[in-house]
Structure formats: C-alpha cells, structure tokens
Amino acid sequence: MALSLAIIIILGLLFNRLFEKIKLPGLLGMLILGVLLGPYVTNYISEDILRISPDLRKIALIVILLRAGLGIKKDTLHKIGVPAVKMSCVPGLFEGFAIMFAGSYILGISKIEAGMLGFIIAAVSPAVVVPQMLNFIQNKRGQNKGIPTIILAGASIDDVFAITLFSTFLGMYGGEHVNITRKVLDIPISILLGIGIGVLTGIILTMLFKKYHMRDTKKTLILIAAAIILTGIEELLKNVVPIASLLGVMTIGFILLEKHPNAANRLAMKYNKVWVFAEILLFVLVGTQVNIQVALGSGVIGVLIIVIGLIFRSIGVLVSLAGTNLNMKERMFCVIAYLPKATVQAAIGAVPLAAGVKSGELILAIAVLSIIITAPLGAIGIKAAGEHWLPMD
C-alpha cells in the first residue's frame, strides 16, 4: 500500500507537469495515469488503496470544497443568486429526462431503466469543475460577473437532484412504493439541511478559533475533521433524512470567511498547499474506476445517448442564464464548464447492475463511457474557454 501511494504521488506529479507543458490541464494527465495504473489496465495499484479509494476521494473533494467556500464572498453570492439556483437543477433535469426518453426509444429499455441511466449521466463532476473554477477566481477571471462562483454553487447542488431522482427510479424498478411527492420534497430538505448544518458548524468553529489561540495548521486539521464528520452524518442518516453534506462543507468555509476573514484567508492558503497532495489522490483514483473495455461495449449507441444528453444539458444552461448580463462567450463558457462527468458516474454507475436491473451492464457501460468522453474534453474545454472568453477583472 505504501509503495502504491509513493508511485501515485511521483507519477501524479510527473503527469501533471507533462500535461501542463503541452498546454493541457494537469488533471487530465492524472486521470489518464489512474486509468493506466488501475485494475482494468496494468493493475499496478494495491487492492488496499483501491479498497479505501472512495474515502480518499471524498477527503480530497472535501479539501477543495472547503477551499471553494473560503473564497466565496457574500456580495458575490448575492449577485449570482438566482442564476446559480437555476444552474443547480435546470441543466441536469433537461439532460436526465432527455436521456430517459431517448434511451428508452433507442436502446429499447423501459422508461424506468432509462430514467436510472439518465440521472446517473446527468450529474456534473465537482471533482473536475471546482478546482478549475478556483483557479479562475484566484486569477481574477470572470469575477466581475461572478461567473466561476455561479458554476461552483450550481455544481455543488446539481448532484443532489441527480442522485435523488436516480434513487427514485431505482426504487420504482425494485417494486418499492415510491412516494414521488416525498422524493421531490427531499431535494429542498436536503439542500436546506446541508446549508443549515454547514452554517452551525461554521459558527461553532469561528467561536472556537476566536476563543482559543492555535496554529493555523491545527485549524486546518480541525476544519477537515469537522467536514468529514458532516459527510458521515449524511451517510448515517441517509435512510432517515437527506442531507446535502458537500454543500454544507462549502458553507462552512463561507461562514468562516464572513465571521473571521483573517483566519479564513490564512486557512485558504493552507488548503492551497494541501490540495497539491489531495489533487493527485482525487484524479488518479477517479481514473482507476474507469473500465475502458466495459465502456467500449456500449459502442456508437452509447456515444449517441451521451451526445443527446449533452445537447439538452447545454440548452438547460442557456435557459438558466437567460436574463443575465453575461455575453454570448461567457454563456458558452458556462455550457462547457457544465460538461464533465466523473465522480458520481464512478460512484453509482454499477449500482443498477448490482441491484439486478436487466440493463444494468449497459447502464454501467454508458456511465463509464461518459467519463471517458466528457472528463478530458470538459477539462480541456474549460481551461481553453476560460483563458480566452473570461475577462481579467
């Protein structure tokens, strides 16, 4: 396990550097490295690492979401409020239902199975999107109109809608009595509870940091531990009440910035350093989940389904941004920023197969294919479009 970790770190840094040298996103190099080292190609990473991979990926995602929260200012949030809310649900709903109807017709599967596929695919990847938006915020690109923050806020809630609707279709397939009204209500409840627990945690930590003098390194560790506990509460109560814990994690950072800005700014610098390690773990381990052979099994039909979904997602983004002061290039940047898939697809793509869904293998194949197509293209597109279309503020 220790040797595998050393290999991931050394090669991760190398691939990151190589891809940046050829003007491609470093995260793309780390994703490809993960594919090459993973169990479906060379199988070079120890099973112990792969076994705890979901927890390691979650911690890495927590690090970048905390950093994101520590960079979101109240006035910026007010400025982008309504568009961010629309971006959190409209594009995903457009994509999910488009795939449901197209998939049912093209693949010859039931609407319920196609609905599962649609809302597995519909989730945007915070792992790919959030780090790049933070880079634009740090480089003062698009900040005047709050464009990176719109994407940050929307992407953090987008998954809540997708996973809730996926679980609804899965329950319907299994013959469970699914209360649709309750499922719909679960979404705002999840969001409000996530924000509420994040606010409470942020306030408690602010009081703690103001009352007791401690090194910023200790504050950084306490903050990560609190965020991990928050995600643990979500897992513990998932069958009782839904909680959007990742949104809560970002809220903790936001509250700290509002209540204790000096400490928050110092902690943000600490998380920039921690992210160097966490980034390698996140993207390499996401890459290890990609089974290229399974993805190829869906063939041209799988690509067609994904393209149809992305077209409707893009329409959803443009609908969400209607009435804003963004110009066409800035709107097209938002379209591109909402393309990448990775985290959710890797996490739940195999759930229908494990649950005995008839088309489970096909659903998994298309989910994996969506990662292979959209993660690299999205990463490259975000970097290129952001540098050319987002103005320096």
**Residue of 235, 256, 287 lying closest to 68 (CA atoms):** 256
d(CA 41, CA 15): 17
Angle of helix 26-37 relative to helix 2-21, nearest 10 degrees?
A: 140
Per-residue pLDDT of the chain (393 residues; tens, 9 = 90+): 888 889 999 999 999 899 888 877 787 888 889 889 988 888 888 888 888 888 888 888 888 888 888 877 777 666 667 888 889 889 999 999 999 999 999 988 889 899 999 999 998 988 788 888 888 988 888 888 888 888 988 887 788 788 888 888 887 776 556 566 676 677 788 888 888 999 999 999 999 998 888 898 999 999 999 999 998 888 888 777 878 887 888 889 889 989 998 888 899 888 888 888 888 888 888 788 777 777 777 778 999 999 999 999 999 999 999 988 889 999 999 999 999 988 788 777 878 887 888 888 889 889 888 888 898 899 899 999 999 898 887
Question: Which residues, including other chains, have CB under 8 Å from residue 151's CB and lie 6 or more apart?
Answer: 87, 129, 133, 334, 337, 338
pLDDT at 227: 93
**Residue of 120, 123, 134 lying closest to 27 (CA atoms):** 134
- State which amino acid sits at residue 19: F
Is 84:154 a contact under the CB 8 Å cutoff? yes
As given in the structure block, the two tokens for residue 141 are 């690109």
As given in the structure block, the two tokens for residue 285 are 């381990």
d(CA 185, CA 181): 6
Q: What is the largest CA-CA distance in the chain?
A: 63
Surface-to-core class of residue 304, CB atoms within 10 Å of its CB (0-12 exposed, 13-18 middle, 19+ buried): middle
As given in the structure block, the two tokens for residue 113 are 């199975």
At the topology level, CATH places domain 53-389 in Na+/H+ antiporter like fold (1.20.1530)
In the numeric block, the tokens 């780390």 are attached to 30
Q: DSSP letter for 273, please.
A: H
d(CA 70, CA 271): 10
pLDDT at 176: 58
**Residue of 165, 123, 157, 163 lying closest to 367 (CA atoms):** 123
d(CA 138, CA 144): 13
Number of residues assigned to the chain: 393
d(CA 234, CA 277): 26
pLDDT at 281: 87
pLDDT at 220: 92
d(CA 99, CA 121): 8
10 Å Cβ neighbour count for 171?
16
pLDDT at 127: 78
| Local structure of 392: helix, strand or coil | strand
As given in the structure block, the two tokens for residue 349 are 């793509």
In the numeric block, the tokens 């229908």 are attached to 352
Alpha helices in the chain (DSSP H): 2-21, 26-37, 47-51, 53-69, 74-79, 81-107, 111-121, 126-138, 147-173, 180-211, 216-236, 245-259, 261-288, 292-296, 299-320, 328-337, 343-348, 351-354, 360-389
**Residue of 345, 333, 311 lying closest to 381 (CA atoms):** 333
